[in-house]
Structure 1
Amino acid sequence: MTTAVAAPFRFFSLRVVTTRRLGPSLVRVTFGGPDLDRFRSEGRDQSLSLFLPHPGQSEPAVPVDRGDGWWQAWRELPDDVRAVMRSYTLRALRRTPGGPTEIDIDFVLHGTEPGSAVPAGPASRWASRARPGDRVVLLGPAVADNRAIRFRPPSGTDLVVLWGDETALPAVCAILSSLPAGLPVHAWLEVGHPGDVREPVTAADARITWRVRDGRAGPDSAATLDALRAARLPAATAPYAWVAGEAGRVRDVRRHLVRERGLDRRRVTFVGYWRQGLTEEQLHQSGA
């Protein structure tokens, strides 16, 4: 495959190196390839676009010419041929001196459990079956500090507030690992199963509250907001909040922080990673 720059991003042709099951709903896929020598990122909540093949394809179908017109060319490919594109967060980047560069991406396996009431999407199906050597294409950063990093606490921030569901867990873990020692952090994290709970590594003074749905699917904003309202935050003069996950709950959590907690809306970053009942394509079309 050829590659081209879509500054400040570029396409990377990658292969699966290993897969590792992290919990009932989570699998970590490690990717490698010579292209990664030019991959740049400062971590945090670095967003990536991943192109996956359909069943029966040996590699994802993406435009050969990946210049400025790649999006339209990709859209014009037949639906059953065009690579599946999904957004993910970089979990880890490893550079080995004299050796390979690898990245980790964590996938939430919606609907792959036996008897699940929620049908699995194409990315969940792909991740649940991924094997070493499988080929993908990634649109990722060619410069370290890029607009796909949204976690940007202003100078002087004296408290970080985080909320995320399982789709935001990789970003939350990467954010926590980037924070300085002693910075107060209060995080609420929601996952589907007890086995999906991951204890992040951080030097910050972090208090993490987990909410486990015990396999129950679907948003539950009432329970989420009840947990937030019951919590006491440390005193702070310049708090900053980052909220990501299911779009409806992200909206409700942001409203709670701004209207009920009094946080400055300019100091609240919010990202809807997905919306209940919609595919990523439908989410983009809805403008949500």
Structure 2
Amino acid sequence: MAEPTYRFFDVQVLRTERLSRSLVRVVFGAVAGGAGLGGVGGLGAVVSGGRDQRLKLFLPQAGQDAPVLPDVLDTDWYARWRALDPAVRGIMRTYTVRDVRRDPDELDIDFALHGDLGPASRWASAAAPGDRLALLAPVVTDNGGVDFRPPEGTDWVLLCADETAVPAVAGILEWLPAGTPVKAWISVGDPADRVELPTKCEAEVSWLTRPASLAEAVAAATLPAGRPYAWLAGEASLVREVRRHLVGPRAFPRPAVRFTGYWRAGTTEDALLEEST
């Protein structure tokens, strides 16, 4: 039997840090008396493959101290979770791993805040030390939760995102080798949403404040010559519009464009989950 690439972790908030108007970093660590994020009993410690590494987090419902999960967390955990009462079971969301550290074991997740519109934003806005949730996180660095995978021979990288994908953009820019040519556009709601994006790349990052169009900015840009690799993430319609331009007028090969709708305007993640099942 193949070794699992992910496992569940019970964690608590250690501290928070406001990074911008709409971005807050929550640092997680071990629950008092628990195994935390390290390996225990032959089970692996949490790790990250870097770049846009994703995990699942499970939030408690209102009035709960910790999220309710199935009694058995094996390979059939998803079916067991789905069978629980939606009003009781932990609220599942997908987020980017921003960093993992050892000694002590800590994990960072950056949350894009949008007021009271969703349970994760609501939870992160009020997160305080000791607050608990659960993670389904990778225990091997080569796992299925990394989408940014430029093929050998890529000459330059194009990144397009909105504020929900800023943590992934930051991870990608940190991971890319020094000198890699990068053209990036990031759409935000306010200039105060901008953050520093350290990198060793030759990166040109353009921040756009809505209603400025990300797709129009990309269409008007002069792009480098050579073999491209594009990574697009954020609101689904925004991502689709940029992708159509790249594989259409720009003639990017379709396999060279990786695109992910992190959210869809007017639709909750729970509704999207129901659509996919």
Regarding TM over 0.5, the answer is: yes
1:88 correspondence with 2:117: no
Q: Deviations over 1:66-102 (max 9, x none)?
A: 012211221122222111110000111122xxx2111
1:163 correspondence with 2:152: no
Q: How does 1:1-288 map to 2 (within 5 A)?
A: 7-33=4-30, 34-37=35-38, 38-95=45-102, 99-110=103-114, 112=115, 119-213=116-210, 223-236=213-226, 238-287=227-276
Q: Deviations over 1:181-233 (max 9, x none)?
A: 111000001112211101211000000010122xxxxxx6x822211111111
Poorly superposed stretches of 4+, deviation over 4 Å: none
Deviation at 1:285, TM superposition (A): 2.6
Whole-angstrom CA distance in 2 between matches of 1:149 and 1:199: 23
Any unmatched runs of 5+ in structure 1? Answer: 113-118, 214-219
Whole-angstrom CA distance in 1 between matches of 2:177 and 2:107: 23
Instruction: Give the secondary structure class of the aligned counterpart of 1:225.
Output: helix
Whole-angstrom CA distance in 2 between matches of 1:257 and 1:151: 17
Contact preservation (8 Å) 1:225, 1:253: yes
Contact preservation (8 Å) 1:6, 1:67: no
Instruction: Give the secondary structure class of the aligned counterpart of 1:36.
Output: coil
Deviation at 1:138, TM superposition (A): 0.2
**1:115 aligned partner:** none
Sequence identity (%): 52
Instruction: Give the secondary structure class of the aligned counterpart of 1:271.
Output: strand
Structure 1, 246-255 or 277-286: larger mean CA deviation: 277-286
Instruction: Give the secondary structure class of the aligned counterpart of 1:260.
Output: coil
Any unmatched runs of 5+ in structure 2? Answer: 39-44
Whole-angstrom CA distance in 1 between matches of 2:271 and 2:87: 17
Contact preservation (8 Å) 1:6, 1:68: no
Whole-angstrom CA distance in 2 between matches of 1:162 and 1:16: 31
Contact preservation (8 Å) 2:12, 2:131: yes
Contact preservation (8 Å) 1:91, 1:104: yes
Counterpart of 2:261, as a letter, is: G
Q: Deviations over 1:1-51 (max 9, x none)?
A: xxxx98211101111010111222111100012431201222110011000
Deviation at 1:109, TM superposition (A): 1.2
Counterpart of 1:246, as a letter, is: E
Instruction: Give the secondary structure class of the aligned counterpart of 2:37.
Output: helix
